[in-house]
């Protein structure tokens, strides 16, 4: 019965989601071209509010548990497991003061209203997973820029989304590049739960009545770890221990 109800609600969701992206596309363009990057960041943040309301049509709720004060006077690296595209709006919305910038696949940089524009012009990095040389150079430039500007980088180190909530093995290369070029960064691990249930039936229909939770773990300083491998292992264990598949 729930899956049957999911069909009409998913149609409404997709229409509203697409309309939000289309409506905000010129808003992002105007914000960026006329008022600068800070205005673009604020417009992107506001877009996430409306995208989250679109998910509410499906009975999907977001619970963001963060009891820590994150110092944004130094570079920040947010590391999280990845289950669906529903992971992204709450991270941007609830951590809006950090203006998080994502490491994204290059395919997302074209053809998607609002999202593609923001990825190309808002400070994210687009990597071609089929081209290691491009990926490494792009990540190097990105990590150095984030370090210089004391910005916030977001990485999903699994490399692909988990289909059943069970985290995949973390790919170390991206993390290694970030840590090497941001030696005094603050790392914020986040465990995401239940997001995969929004696509439990595939791309259509959407899953209904899901409470997606985000558990922010205690921030840690990269400088407190003697080597990168120990740091990565600690982050991976922390995140995976907070995931309940």
- Can you list the domains of the chain with their CATH numbers? 2-241 (3.40.1130)
Whether 130 has a pLDDT exceeding 90, the answer reads no
The average pLDDT across 131-144 equals 94
**Per-residue pLDDT reduced to its tens digit, 30-77:** 999 999 999 999 999 999 999 999 999 999 999 999 999 898 889 999
Q: Which of 82, 84, 62 is nearest to 203 (CA)?
A: 84
pLDDT for res 245? 64
Give φ, ψ of 77 to 5 degrees: -120, 115
pTM: 0.94
Whether 240 has a pLDDT exceeding 80, the answer reads yes
pLDDT for res 135? 93
pLDDT for res 166? 87
Token output for 16: 């509203």
> For strand 152-155 and strand 61-65, is the pairing parallel, antiparallel, or unpaired?
unpaired
Q: Where does the pLDDT of residue 202 fall: very low under 50, low under 70, confident under 90, or very high at 90 and above?
A: confident
pLDDT for res 162? 81
Helix, coil or strand: residue 125: strand
Whether 1 has a pLDDT exceeding 80, the answer reads no
The share of the chain scoring above pLDDT 90, in percent, equals 84
pLDDT for res 132? 87
Q: How many CB atoms lie within 10 A of CB 165?
A: 17
């Amino acid at each position: 019965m729930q899956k049957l109800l999911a069909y009409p609600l998913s149609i409404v969701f997709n229409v509203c989601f697409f309309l939000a992206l289309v409506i905000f596309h010129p808003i992002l363009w105007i914000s960026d071209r006329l008022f600068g990057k800070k205005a673009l960041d604020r417009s992107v943040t506001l877009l996430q509010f409306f995208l989250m309301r679109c998910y509410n049509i499906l009975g999907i709720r977001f619970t963001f548990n963060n009891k820590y004060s994150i110092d944004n006077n130094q570079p920040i690296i947010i590391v999280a497991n990845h289950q669906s595209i529903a992971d992204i709006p709450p991270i941007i919305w609830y951590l809006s003061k950090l203006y998080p910038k994502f490491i994204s696949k290059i395919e997302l940089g074209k053809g998607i209203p609002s999202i593609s524009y923001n990825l190309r012009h808002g400070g994210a990095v687009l990597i071609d997973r089929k081209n290691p040389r491009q990926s490494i150079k792009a990540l190097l430039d990105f990590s150095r820029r984030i370090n210089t500007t004391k910005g916030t980088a977001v990485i999903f180190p699994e490399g692909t989304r988990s289909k059943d909530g069970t985290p995949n093995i973390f790919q170390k290369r991206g993390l290694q590049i970030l840590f090497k070029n941001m030696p005094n960064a603050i790392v914020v691990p986040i465990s995401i739960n239940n997001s995969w249930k929004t696509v439990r039936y595939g791309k259509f229909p959407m899953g209904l009545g899901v409470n997606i939770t985000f558990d922010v773990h205690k921030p840690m300083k990269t400088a407190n770890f003697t080597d990168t491998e120990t740091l990565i292992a600690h982050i991976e264990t922390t995140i995976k221990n907070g995931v309940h598949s």
